[in-house]
Amino acid sequence: MSIKKVLGFTGIRSDYDLLSLLYKKLNESKDFEIKLIVSGAHLSETYGYTFNDIVQDGIPVIAKIENLIDSNSRASRIKSLSILLQDCIHTIVEYKPDIIIYAGDREEVVVGGLIGTYLRIPTIHFFGGDHALDGNIDNPIRHAVSKLSSLHFVSNQESKKRLIRSGEHERRIFNVGSPALDKFISTKYISKKDVLNSLDRPYWDNYAVMIYHPFAGEENEAGKHFEEILIALEKKSIKTFVSYPNIDAGNKIIIKIIDKYSSKDNFKFYKNLSRELFVNLLRNCMFMIGNSSAGLYEAPLLKLGAVNVGNRQKGRLCAANVIFVEQGINNIIKGIEKVMTREFQISLSKVECPYGYGVSIDKIINLMRSLDFESYVSKSEDPLLMEGYYE
């Protein structure tokens, strides 16, 4: 069997973490050759220059594309997308990959889907079929890319059903679980003492972890919403490790709030942590708070409570570890009080993770070995003729 050439896209730490162990396993396999196009926040010092993490993992990089337009403008993301699209076409034409893979709903997946479609290169979309109630940018981008993609490696049965209802043929869809969880559970254990020493907080004991990103449509309120969580945590005297936001519009306002609170001893703000340190930070914390998908994906594996504040993540498949609260200091305080109750903590022991238990990578690689990618390029299926069509 000839070696299959795989091309991946990654533009930010969060999407890299979803597939990084898969990249590593593909790189180690004699059956595959993996190359990455690295762009966006990976190449920005403001967001921790996480390109170094990719280098450290030993994943071959075929192109570095500096396309990030770092502003609060809604137009910045589509401008960044256009730069990436323009700059990576020649690389892909020259490399001639057998398959293009990408995950999620950010700009890079749009580029991967478009290029795969126009160049007739088979594509695999990870985490397609997910859905959030807000109906904002993530939904249309994710679902549009699913229509562009040849194959779908979904993380749960609900997403598979949603793709079928949208007109994708079942033969194209494989429920493999979340490959991100494989890396999560295999991460080396670090003691709580060593975690706290590494983060310059050796005198802390119990703590929370806060990850809050700006939400499309609420960019102008991002700073206010972020600060409300900090105030609620302060009122409850909870020491908290706080992540910097992602690159989405509204992040500059949040960073100003971080600067305002940076001297307060009950908060420790960080731009980027090694995966090993981040996983162990979660393993040892009291609860998560904010609006990160980690509360839905990783936290259930740890039987860890998560307070999700605001509209981001609403409607997505989640376990009973997640407490959804509206914005507002009093609402957030109520969520914090609930997640810390003895009753809720006891209930966490029964939580089941809806995205699998860290056994996805082998399934994915076996599928990538056995599937005839070329047979999936042409999407000739007519949704009107498919079983399950509804008037």
Question: What tokens appear for 269 in the block?
Answer: 């703000």
CATH of domain 4-179+360-385: 3.40.50.2000
What pLDDT is recorded for position 389? 47
Question: What tokens appear for 165 in the block?
Answer: 């209802």
What are the boundaries of each domain within the chain?
4-179+360-385, 186-350
What pLDDT is recorded for position 250? 86
Give the count of beta carbons closer than 10 Å to the beta carbon of residue 202.
11
CA distance 145 to 141: 6
375 Cβ contact partners less than 8 Å away, ≥ 6 residues apart = none
8 Å CB contact between 136 and 216: yes
326 Cβ contact partners less than 8 Å away, ≥ 6 residues apart = 309, 310
What pLDDT is recorded for position 387? 63
Short-list 148, 159, 144, 100, CA closest to 124: 100
Phi, psi angle pair for 166, to nearest 5°? -85, 0
> Is the four-CA dihedral 192, 194, 199, 205 of positive or negative sign?
positive
Alpha helical stretches, state H, the chain: 13-28, 51-57, 75-95, 107-119, 138-148, 157-165, 180-186, 192-198, 222-235, 251-261, 275-283, 294-297, 329-339, 342-347, 361-370
Per-residue pLDDT of the chain (391 residues; tens, 9 = 90+): 689 999 999 999 889 999 999 999 999 999 999 999 999 999 998 888 999 999 999 999 999 999 999 887 888 889 999 999 999 999 999 999 999 999 988 899 999 999 999 999 999 999 999 988 766 678 899 999 999 999 999 999 999 999 999 999 999 999 999 999 998 999 999 999 999 999 999 999 999 999 999 887 788 899 999 999 999 999 999 999 999 998 777 889 999 999 999 999 999 999 888 889 999 999 999 999 999 999 999 999 999 999 999 999 888 899 999 999 999 999 999 999 999 999 999 999 999 999 998 899 999 999 999 999 999 999 988 888 776 544 4
CA distance 193 to 37: 37
DSSP per residue, 5-62: EEEEEE-SHHHHHHHHHHHHHHHH-TTEEEEEEEEGGGG-GGGT-THHHHHHHT--EE
Phi, psi angle pair for 177, to nearest 5°? 80, -175
What pLDDT is recorded for position 391? 42
Give the count of beta carbons closer than 10 Å to the beta carbon of residue 56.
10
Short-list 265, 278, 257, 181, CA closest to 214: 257
Pairing of strands 151-154, 123-126: parallel
What pLDDT is recorded for position 135? 61
What pLDDT is recorded for position 390? 46
Q: How far apart are the first and last CA of the chain?
A: 46
| Structural Rg of the chain based on CA atoms | 21
Give the count of beta carbons closer than 10 Å to the beta carbon of residue 244.
19
What letter would DSSP give residue 357? S
8 Å CB contact between 221 and 254: no
190 Cβ contact partners less than 8 Å away, ≥ 6 residues apart = 198, 276, 277, 280
CA distance 230 to 344: 22
- Domain 186-350: CATH class, spelled out: alpha beta
Amino acid at 275: R
What pLDDT is recorded for position 320? 97
What letter would DSSP give residue 350? G
CA distance 96 to 60: 16
CA distance 229 to 80: 30
